[in-house]
Structure 1
Amino acid sequence: MKFAILSRNGKLYSTRRLVEAARERGHSVRVLDPLRCYMRISSAGFDMRYKGKPLAGYAAVVPRIGASITRYGCAVLRQFELMGSYSPNSASAIARARDKLRCHQVLAAQGIGLPITVFGDNPDDTGDLLAMLGPPPHVIKLNEGTQGAGVMLTEKPSASRATIETLRGLYANFLVQEFIAEAKGADLRCFVVGDTVVAAMRRLAPQGDFRSNLHRGGTAKPVRPTRAEVATAVHAAQILGLGVAGVDLIRSKRGPLVLEVNSSPGLEGIEAATGVDVAGAVIEHTAAAALKQHTSNTNLTDS
């Protein structure tokens, strides 16, 4: 099968592992920088070129689209989809997951457990907004931050108001959440592929921090999630339309709560912590789904 990996850097661990896994399973694979893909769109059809040469015939595309290129990367992925390629994460699903506020609204509407979240625009409403949330500590998150960047903990009402006023002055989009003290700075990263959690790790924040991201110095060890945690992770990914996702959960008194759903989860940390061939699971799921889509389309054409 002909695979494309959409990635800005073929030397990144996650990209290299996906390439290795695809080749080990007999697929041809090419890494494409989405910013070098350009498109022709017309009612007669869809075309795409890369560094002066046409792109066609890719049965499957695995997107590794960073937050900084979400809009263009999704446009490129959508073009592949319109040209008949299968992707485990569609362009619309990636855009839905990348917007934290929209993601929380969609998940909450389907009954997924979440930390209580508030959002507002007008400075005159800040006091009442925080009153809706409850007493501090508060967690303030930039709407499109990644790897723990743009996540702040405020322990006093005055600090929450000052941080909110500063972010508004910078025209930043953000949301404010309750702090789950009983989690003790730890979360669970559940790596969902299809309808299965193929690997899971517990991440613990470094001393003096509350963010457990490995990029922030957190530590990780393998963990066996509970049935409730597996069900929550898989359901959250499916609600957003993601076939591959990193679902971050915290354990609370009211059950597992979803912190974030990552549509482009890194492989290095979880493969190192668990020893699971996560890249292989992604490739196998993608190949099977692409073949099913191709067979279905062929049957429809024949009929």
Structure 2
Amino acid sequence: MPRALYTDYPWPDTSVEQSILDEADCQIVEAPTGDEETLARLAVDCDAIFTCWAQVTAKVLDAAPNCRHVSRTGIGLDNIDVERATERGMIVTNVPDYCIPEVAEHTMALLFALARNIHVHHKNTHANVYDIQSGATMERMEDQTVGVVGTGQIGKVFIQKCLGLGMRVVAHNRSQQVPAGVEWRGLNDLLAESDYVALLCPLTPETQGLMSGEQFARMKDSAFLINTSRGGLVDHAALAEALDAGQLAGAGLDVQVPEPPDLNVPPYNDPRVIVTPHAAFLSTRAVTELRTRVARQVVDFLQGRTPENIVNADRLA
């Protein structure tokens, strides 16, 4: 009977995946923890690996001589050693288009909350403070500038929502090709112009620590940072220092390093910061689609068909 290691998952059980894997008589092996030693031990006799956020390192892959498929239950691939998987002849798949509306909506929700002081007033009213003056000064969102770093599928949807609100949008990407109605900017210029900076780019060696002390110093002291992409894009210690120095007005963070972070330390305990628990991708529809599609990828692989979204197909011999 084939076996598939499930390294970690944020839903209650693996019933959706198992119901599909039954078509290939494949048994799920659920890892009790996502540490490297545990995953390497459990991967030994597995034919495939599902992973959500756990690190699938070279050690884990090397411990799995029968494994030929690693399926990411998500979009980003920064937690998988794709290079080592490719060297071992393993295909790597993901689901790059399952939660585009959800992440764009969550990014917009954080923008609204920050712009309108929702988080501050909510906390204050729960503390029996009913005072219109208790929050920071608010500006009309219409005509303010949103700087979008990354114009992939999610970035494009978010941009359209901002344009629909009458906001001005500038964007930064490598290609310098941006959607209609948007102006391209170098990162430094984008930071200096923007009232809101939304990070919607992948985590790569080039974007690791993209937002650090130098970048925060370039932002308006009235501007907000929003990150719904990957925690590694932001130096969180530098963000805490920048907030303390008044270099920006606040932040909305859905992704952190590590996860979960210590919520008792800056920037997470700063009242100007909204923290959500890596929830931007969540909706009933998105999660069902994700779980179904990754399981179908594994079944297709086990039954000799080509799964969708093989990210390393061009590098496999």
TM over 0.5: no
Higher strand share: 1
Query: Could you tell me the TM-score, scaled by structure 2's length?
Result: 0.35
What's the TM-score once normalised by structure 1's chain length? 0.36
Structure with the bigger percentage of helix:
1
